[in-house]
Amino acid sequence: MKLVAISQRVELKLARAEKRDALDQNLVRFLSELGFVGVPIPNTLTAESPGAENVSFQLFQLLNTLKPKAIILSGGNDIGEYLERDLTEMALIEYAEAQKLPLLGICRGMQMMCHREGISIEPVEGHVGTRHLLSGEIRQEVNSYHDNGVSACPKNYKIIAVSEDSKIEAIRHCSLSWEGWMWHPERETPFNGSDIERARALFNS
């Protein structure tokens, strides 16, 4: 069984006094198309939790036990909204780098990849609840659900797609099997064959 570790969004349910980790089931279904099983990673194993000296170790211990073949940073939440998620995803990126694992950042996930490299996140207009055509290495129509984007391409990455208004829509690392996409492949019905093919090549599946 080939596993992929997936980060989760944080949802606050005040009526139930609950703080939840959540993941769209369609992202797991998308991975199934590639021959992988998605494993959600909790946001509670980070240094924001009590016992900070131990929790990050627990996260890496979990990953070493799972031995994922790849990592996905999922969409949802703004960077800075929930510190525990930010720390979890930073740790996942570090693990992917140390283990030379394929990494795919989806929407916020791509923003986190850029944020880690010191790139600022900025508001964008006309990118919520719409579709647009990409140009560059990737040429296809994609969905768009984000009101923030990245201000520049990080060092050691290259831009592989831009939108009609010249916003960065996809990046690829120059030496690692890492990509960031600002669209959500899991929200396409049916899944886009180009997304499946590209993810399969990225994950070597």
Is the pLDDT at 51 greater than 70? The verdict is no
pLDDT in tens, 72-99: 999 999 999 999 999 999 999 999 999 9
* CATH number of the CATH domain containing 199: 3.40.50.880
| 94-122 per-residue burial string, b: 16 or more CB within 10 A, e: under 16 | ebbeeeebbbbbbbbbbbbbbbbeebebe
* pLDDT over 90 (residue 7): yes
Domain that holds residue 73: 3-203
Count of structural domains within the chain: 1
Torsion sign across C-alpha atoms 14, 20, 25, 31: positive
Token output for 70: 């790849």
Indicate which residues carry an active-site annotation. 107, 184, 186
Q: How confident is the model at residue 129 (pLDDT cuts 50, 70, 90)?
A: confident
Global pTM value: 0.94
Question: In this structure, are residues 103 and 73 in contact, taking their beta carbons and an 8 Å threshold?
Answer: yes
**Percent of the chain having pLDDT more than 70?**
95
pLDDT (tens digit per residue) in 169-185: 999 999 999 999 999 99
The pLDDT of 52-64, averaged and rounded, is 79
Distance spanning both ends of the chain, measured CA to CA? 12
